[in-house]
Structures are given as structure tokens and as C-alpha cells.
Amino acid sequence: MTVLIVLVVVLLLAGLLLAWLYNRLVRLRNRVDNAWAQVEVQLKRRWDLIPNLVETVKGYAAHERETFEAVTEARTRAQEARNPAEAAQAEGILGAALGRLFAVAEAYPELQADENFRQLQTELAETENRVAVSRQVYNDAVLTYNNAIQTFPGLVLAGPLGFTAREFFEVADEAQREPPRVDFAR
């Protein structure tokens, strides 16, 4: 009888441990999903500001069509990204295109004095900061989640329970980490 009670207690404790671990992994996975949703919110805010910024600069620098097209194309590619790796690559390209757009804007003092342009520039800078914070939060959530499923006891249970590692939001192409170079000597 004592052996049966001990066996039931051990099975009950094992079941509780399994339930606790499963719930922990679900919470961590949900935290990653939520953090990614927050990144997407900030990226959408950024994407929504870009057309206004381009139109404002266009009014002053209509002959810079190639730069405007590059920004618009990069924005479209960024919106079409389906996962953190694609988003990171597309956002790197978009950041470089925006850098070229601001370099064009610097060549027009009257544009720099335009209140609408300055407000858009400020909003975009604030949004860039929000994107950076959201990326950091997302990457921290991914780190915690990946650690939980890649260390014991999560390592034993994660695979059979359907938990898989998540991607970090990072720039894969080293060239995209460099600030854009602009040459007006053409």
C-alpha cells in the first residue's frame, strides 16, 4: 500500500512538473509573439510616415526621382516581409534609402526650414527610437524563450510538444550596418 501511495505521489508530482513546464513554455512563446506584434506596430508607424516625408521632399527636389523611387520600393519590400529575418533585411535597405533621402534634403536649405518637413523628421526619429526599443524587447523575449526550450528540462519536452526556436531580429548583411554614403559630385 505504501508503494502505491509513493507511486501515485511521484506520478502526480511529475504531472504537475510537466504542466508547469508546458505552461511556462506557452507563456514565453506568447511573450515572443506579443513582442513581435509590437515591432510590427512600430514598423507600420514608420511605413505610414515615409510617404508624407517623400512627398514633402519631392516638392523641393523634384529631380531626385531615383532616390524617391528607392525609398518607395524599400518601403514596399519592408511591408511584404513575412518573418524577422526578412524584416531585418528589408528594414536595413529601407534605413539606407531613408539616409539617402535625408542627404538629399540637406542640399535644400528651404526644405530644412519647412515646418512640415521638420515635424515629419522628428516623428520619424522618434519612431526609429521606438522601433529600436521594440526590437530589443523582441530579441530579449526570443533569447529567454530559446534558452527555455534549449536547456534541460525544456530541451526534453519542447520538441515533442511542438515548441521550436524563434529567429532574432538582426541585420544579416554587414553592409547594411554601415551608414549610407552619399556623393553629390555626380
Local confidence band at 125 (pLDDT 50, 70, 90 cut-offs) = very high
- 54-98 pLDDT, tens digit per residue, is 999 988 888 888 999 999 999 999 999 999 999 999 999 999 999
pLDDT of residue 65: 86
Local confidence band at 181 (pLDDT 50, 70, 90 cut-offs) = very low
Say yes or no to pLDDT of 48 above 80. Answer: yes
Domain range summary for the chain, segments of one domain joined by +: 30-177
Residue range 30-177 forms a domain whose CATH class is mainly alpha
- 147-162 pLDDT, tens digit per residue, is 999 999 999 999 999 9
What per-residue string of b and e applies to 124-153 under the rule 16 or more CB within 10 Å gives b?
beebeebbeebbebbbebbeebbebbeeee
